[in-house]
Amino acid sequence: MTFYTPLEVVSKSLIPGIKRMIALSLMEKGLTEFEIASILGLTQPSVSRYKHRKRGAFGDLSQHPEILEKVNTLSELIAQRKLPVYRILHEIDRIALYALSQGYACNICKSVNGEPFLACDHVCVTKSITLNPTL
Protein backbone atom coordinates (compact mmCIF):
# COMPACT_ATOMS: atom_id res chain seq x y z
CA MET A 1 0.00 0.00 0.00
CA THR A 2 1.17 3.51 -0.75
CA PHE A 3 1.21 6.03 2.10
CA TYR A 4 1.25 9.80 1.76
CA THR A 5 2.82 12.38 4.05
CA PRO A 6 0.60 15.24 5.22
CA LEU A 7 2.30 17.58 2.73
CA GLU A 8 1.56 15.15 -0.09
CA VAL A 9 -2.07 15.20 1.01
CA VAL A 10 -1.95 19.00 0.87
CA SER A 11 -0.45 18.86 -2.62
CA LYS A 12 -2.82 16.23 -3.99
CA SER A 13 -6.06 17.25 -2.24
CA LEU A 14 -6.07 20.61 -0.46
CA ILE A 15 -4.39 22.73 -3.12
CA PRO A 16 -6.68 21.43 -5.90
CA GLY A 17 -9.61 22.03 -3.53
CA ILE A 18 -8.52 25.62 -2.91
CA LYS A 19 -8.00 26.22 -6.64
CA ARG A 20 -11.48 24.81 -7.24
CA MET A 21 -12.97 27.20 -4.70
CA ILE A 22 -11.16 30.12 -6.35
CA ALA A 23 -12.23 29.05 -9.85
CA LEU A 24 -15.88 28.75 -8.80
CA SER A 25 -15.73 32.15 -7.11
CA LEU A 26 -14.25 33.71 -10.24
CA MET A 27 -16.97 32.10 -12.38
CA GLU A 28 -19.57 33.70 -10.10
CA LYS A 29 -17.87 37.02 -10.81
CA GLY A 30 -18.39 36.46 -14.55
CA LEU A 31 -14.95 35.28 -15.64
CA THR A 32 -14.82 32.60 -18.32
CA GLU A 33 -13.04 29.28 -17.97
CA PHE A 34 -10.40 30.53 -20.40
CA GLU A 35 -9.79 33.72 -18.39
CA ILE A 36 -9.55 31.75 -15.14
CA ALA A 37 -7.17 29.25 -16.71
CA SER A 38 -4.95 32.06 -17.99
CA ILE A 39 -4.88 33.89 -14.65
CA LEU A 40 -4.21 30.78 -12.53
CA GLY A 41 -1.77 29.15 -14.95
CA LEU A 42 -4.10 26.23 -15.65
CA THR A 43 -5.63 24.73 -18.75
CA GLN A 44 -9.26 25.38 -19.64
CA PRO A 45 -10.06 21.65 -19.25
CA SER A 46 -8.66 21.79 -15.69
CA VAL A 47 -11.00 24.66 -14.87
CA SER A 48 -13.88 22.69 -16.40
CA ARG A 49 -13.03 19.72 -14.17
CA TYR A 50 -13.12 22.01 -11.12
CA LYS A 51 -16.51 23.30 -12.24
CA HIS A 52 -17.96 19.80 -12.64
CA ARG A 53 -16.46 18.47 -9.36
CA LYS A 54 -14.14 16.08 -11.21
CA ARG A 55 -11.11 17.68 -9.59
CA GLY A 56 -10.63 19.42 -6.28
CA ALA A 57 -13.84 18.21 -4.64
CA PHE A 58 -12.03 15.82 -2.27
CA GLY A 59 -10.12 18.69 -0.65
CA ASP A 60 -13.13 20.97 -0.19
CA LEU A 61 -12.57 23.40 2.68
CA SER A 62 -15.67 25.54 2.20
CA GLN A 63 -17.12 24.43 5.56
CA HIS A 64 -14.41 26.44 7.34
CA PRO A 65 -15.47 30.12 7.50
CA GLU A 66 -11.95 31.55 7.74
CA ILE A 67 -10.84 29.60 4.65
CA LEU A 68 -13.93 30.69 2.75
CA GLU A 69 -13.31 34.32 3.72
CA LYS A 70 -9.66 34.16 2.60
CA VAL A 71 -10.62 32.51 -0.70
CA ASN A 72 -13.30 35.15 -1.34
CA THR A 73 -10.86 37.98 -0.60
CA LEU A 74 -8.22 36.41 -2.84
CA SER A 75 -10.78 35.84 -5.61
CA GLU A 76 -11.83 39.48 -5.48
CA LEU A 77 -8.22 40.64 -5.89
CA ILE A 78 -7.70 38.14 -8.71
CA ALA A 79 -10.86 39.32 -10.51
CA GLN A 80 -9.62 42.91 -10.25
CA ARG A 81 -6.27 41.78 -11.72
CA LYS A 82 -4.47 43.26 -8.70
CA LEU A 83 -2.09 40.35 -8.01
CA PRO A 84 0.71 38.85 -10.09
CA VAL A 85 0.54 35.09 -10.53
CA TYR A 86 3.37 34.38 -8.06
CA ARG A 87 1.41 36.19 -5.30
CA ILE A 88 -1.72 34.22 -6.16
CA LEU A 89 0.20 30.94 -5.90
CA HIS A 90 1.85 31.99 -2.62
CA GLU A 91 -1.56 32.84 -1.16
CA ILE A 92 -2.91 29.44 -2.23
CA ASP A 93 0.04 27.81 -0.43
CA ARG A 94 -0.58 29.94 2.68
CA ILE A 95 -4.22 28.88 2.77
CA ALA A 96 -3.23 25.22 2.37
CA LEU A 97 -0.57 25.36 5.10
CA TYR A 98 -3.00 27.14 7.41
CA ALA A 99 -5.57 24.40 6.78
CA LEU A 100 -2.94 21.75 7.55
CA SER A 101 -1.93 23.51 10.78
CA GLN A 102 -5.57 23.65 11.90
CA GLY A 103 -6.11 19.93 11.40
CA TYR A 104 -8.41 20.36 8.40
CA ALA A 105 -6.43 17.76 6.44
CA CYS A 106 -6.60 15.06 9.14
CA ASN A 107 -9.68 13.30 7.82
CA ILE A 108 -8.39 13.41 4.25
CA CYS A 109 -5.00 12.07 5.37
CA LYS A 110 -6.65 9.23 7.29
CA SER A 111 -8.94 8.49 4.36
CA VAL A 112 -6.14 8.15 1.80
CA ASN A 113 -3.71 6.35 4.12
CA GLY A 114 -6.15 3.99 5.82
CA GLU A 115 -5.62 1.88 8.92
CA PRO A 116 -2.04 2.87 9.88
CA PHE A 117 -3.08 6.52 10.19
CA LEU A 118 -6.26 6.04 12.21
CA ALA A 119 -4.24 6.47 15.42
CA CYS A 120 -2.40 9.56 14.12
CA ASP A 121 -1.50 11.97 16.92
CA HIS A 122 -2.22 15.06 14.79
CA VAL A 123 1.42 16.12 14.71
CA CYS A 124 0.54 18.60 11.94
CA VAL A 125 -1.81 20.61 14.13
CA THR A 126 0.26 23.46 15.49
CA LYS A 127 0.30 27.21 15.64
CA SER A 128 3.98 27.27 14.78
CA ILE A 129 6.23 24.76 13.10
CA THR A 130 9.79 24.38 14.31
CA LEU A 131 12.59 22.10 13.22
CA ASN A 132 13.95 19.82 15.90
CA PRO A 133 17.75 19.79 15.46
CA THR A 134 18.07 16.48 17.31
CA LEU A 135 16.28 14.46 14.61
Q: Which residues contact 104 (CB under 8 A, 6 or more apart)?
A: 14, 61, 64, 67
Tell me: pLDDT of 10 over 90: no
Query: Where in the chain are the domains?
Result: 6-117
Cβ 18 vs Cβ 61: under 8 Å: yes
pLDDT value, residue 130:
47
Choose between 123 and 78: higher pLDDT: 78
Tens of pLDDT, residue by residue over 32-90, are 999 999 999 999 999 999 888 777 566 678 888 999 999 999 999 999 998 999 999 99
Look up the pTM and report it.
0.83
